[in-house]
Chain A
């Protein structure tokens, strides 16, 4: 029910937009819940309504921070593990 699926806006006409869920198959969704939406934006679609824009930069940033963080804790972690072994 609360499942929302990312899709890309391909075309806008009034309150409706054609979106691509990734398979190339286009579906019409209602975009009245969004303050602004333009062609090319990624949105989260729930029950036929776009409920929020997806932020590509934030997605990249999250992935980057995760990688960085895990590299850092891995090094600290390895040290700890070595200590255990000694």
Chain B
């Protein structure tokens, strides 16, 4: 297999890099922010926080694509499902609460909601069942958007349209830096988003914000090295952009994927659940492909929606302001079997990851 994942988990190297991190750590508290659910999984699953000095804190930013879908988009999908349109979506989306109902509830009420592995499955289903109308719920960051672009540009079957809720990561990182009382001393940038966009979109973080930024992969050693690189930069007082995940991320990224995305989509201001409207942070279909836009096809107007249930702190979880065990509902009223907020639904949600790991990060 590809240079053995186990070599990127080597216990001896882990021990050594952990010792090195301890040596590098300053005496004051450092907060390093990642923006990827898969990074949170690696950190929690391998217990990396417990390997770090107490004053080196790793916090999770808005890196869960399912968590940031506004309730209004879920409401739109629920409405379509109840009106007889077949909704195809990633499994993680099913239980995300809308204002009133989730897609799971819509399914229980007779809606045709089908889980797919990717947009390709939705296209195949639509081709096979020409008597039905299909909508693909297109969520995800830059990692996922290119696959939607591929299918849009290939001219999908006429009975398929798309609910586009793709979001872009760099604007969300920039939002975090604008939150006055949120301490962030360095960014671990998301490796898989970066395979597509390359390294350059992150350059503003060290250059305009003085923020050490390291693009990292998803094995424990990748994350630990990223932490040590950030600490080194802080020590030297020289913030820069570094790429730790060179085996998958190049400076220019996946140029073909970028071109396809640009052909299919334009960048627009977009809502993020609990975070509000961020400029240039979402994708929408270009005019020539608007006929595949489910909102236009079915004349869906985004109505006022309820993003968070009372007591749910997902908006603070998603910016790394608090950790799940600081929410009073965590593992009481809110648990994976009875989620109150999106962060407990998605396998990439911080609350869910902590819950699955005995309530700790």
Mark B1-17 against chain A: 1 for CB-CB distance below 8 A, else 0: 11100011000010011
Range, interface on chain A: 35 or more
Q: Using a CB-CB cutoff of 8 Å, which residues 1-57 of chain A contact chain B?
A: 1-4, 6, 8, 22, 30, 32-35, 42, 44, 46-49, 51-52, 54-56
> Which single residue of chain B is at the shortest CB-CB distance from A73?
B20
**Residues of chain A contacted by B19 (CB below 8 angstroms):** 74, 77
A2-B65, A3-B192, A51-B146 given; 18 more Cβ-contact pairs under 8 Å: A1-B140, A2-B348, A3-B38, A8-B1, A8-B2, A33-B146, A34-B256, A46-B144, A48-B119, A48-B120, A51-B196, A54-B248, A55-B246, A58-B247, A59-B2, A63-B3, A66-B17, A74-B16
Instruction: Give min CB distance, B119 to chain A, whole Å.
Output: 7
Contact B254 A51 (CB under 8 A): yes
Q: A1-B66, A1-B140, A66-B221 are in contact. Are A52 and B8 (CB under 8 A)?
A: no
Instruction: Give min CB distance, A18 to chain B, whole Å.
Output: 14
Mark B165-198 against chain A: 1 for CB-CB distance below 8 A, else 0: 0000000000000000000000000101101100
Name the one of A52, A63, A77, A80 contacting B254, with C-beta atoms under 8 angstroms. A52
**Total contacts A-B at CB 8 Å:** 131
Mark B121-147 against chain A: 1 for CB-CB distance below 8 A, else 0: 100000000000000000111011011
Name the one of B17, B65, B147, B246 contacting A48, with C-beta atoms under 8 angstroms. B147
> Which single residue of chain B is at the shortest CB-CB distance from A7?
B2
Asked if B46 is an interface residue, CB under 8 A from chain A, the answer is: no
